[in-house]
């Protein structure tokens, strides 16, 4: 497989990576607001063609113009151009391009049916049917919404950090421990409860139970341990962008 340079423009950071096959050989990130100015440095990392996606519309025109000016071959993953991925979701334009990349990567790695759980600022589920392709998903609060909200809205509750998480606890003997139990047991419990609905939907479609892949925050830290029955793929979005480009060029 040829080397690909991928760029994933998120709300706060734009991640770039070089992939050889499905292996990330180099990677980095820049603030989204400076991705256009940083583009020459990113392009200097590799002479490979570029595959990219964005969930930040104000950046798109300037980044497209900069890529055009670079004379480097580039492909943008969108709902109108998602090679090999059928989309039967009624409003495909509402689906984040990173979610489409996740779905394409999952197809390539494990096939369909498959469900991807991507935990970041929000927790998103991408649901891919064997018969119908991308059929929809779920959007729930991310873990930080739980920890930050409690601290911001209740004067007596401290800010929790990753170091405060104690997955083995069942009952807290301090405020931080009590909050830790709520997060480390409650959050994975929410994930599994949402998955039950996904399993029921696949059964109603007459399909097998989907493979579940974890990415984003779920692919590392205490959540990885708490959800260890599922396969973790931390580079799923990057793999999907590379795979989409390979499919596009045939």
Q: Which residues are catalytic?
A: 98
B/e letters for 110-129, b = 16+ CB within 10 Å, e = fewer, are: bebbbbbbbbbeebbbbbbb
Give the whole-angstrom CA distance, residue 246 versus residue 21.
Answer: 10
Q: Write phi, then psi, for 181 (nearest 5 degrees).
A: -60, -45
Q: How far apart are CA 75 and CA 12, in angstroms?
A: 22
- The phi, psi pair for 101, rounded to 5°, reads -60, -40
| Phi, psi values for residue 47, rounded to 5° | -90, 5
DSSP state of 94: G
Query: Between vectors from CA 95 to CA 33 and to CA 231, what angle results, nearest 5°?
Result: 95
Q: Give, as one character, the DSSP assignment of residue 87.
A: B
3-state secondary structure of 77: coil
d(Cα 48, Cα 6) in Å, to the nearest integer? Answer: 9
């Amino acid at each position: 497989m040829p080397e690909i340079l991928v760029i994933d423009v998120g709300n706060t950071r734009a991640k770039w990576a070089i992939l050889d096959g499905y292996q990330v050989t180099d990677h980095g990130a820049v603030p989204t607001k400076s991705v256009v100015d940083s583009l020459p440095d990113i392009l200097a990392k590799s002479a490979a063609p570029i595959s990219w996606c964005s969930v930040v519309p104000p950046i798109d025109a300037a980044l497209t113009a900069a890529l055009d000016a670079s004379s480097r071959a580039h492909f943008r993953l969108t709902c109108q151009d998602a090679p090999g991925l059928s989309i039967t979701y009624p409003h495909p334009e509402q689906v984040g391009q990173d979610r489409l990349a996740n779905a394409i990567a999952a197809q390539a790695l494990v096939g369909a049916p498959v469900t991807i759980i991507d935990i970041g600022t929000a927790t998103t589920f991408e649901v891919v049917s064997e018969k119908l392709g991308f059929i929809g998903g779920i959007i729930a609060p991310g873990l930080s919404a739980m920890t930050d909200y409690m601290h911001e809205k209740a004067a007596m509750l401290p800010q929790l950090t990753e170091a405060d998480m104690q997955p083995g606890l069942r009952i807290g003997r301090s405020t931080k421990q009590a909050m830790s139990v709520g997060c480390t047991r409650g959050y994975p419990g929410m994930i599994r409860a949402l998955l039950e609905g996904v399993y029921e939907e696949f059964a109603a479609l007459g399909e097998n139970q989907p493979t579940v892949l974890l990415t984003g925050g779920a692919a590392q830290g205490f959540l990885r341990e708490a959800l260890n029955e599922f396969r973790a793929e931390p580079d799923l979005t990057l793999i999907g962008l590379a795979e989409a480009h390979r499919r596009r060029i045939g």
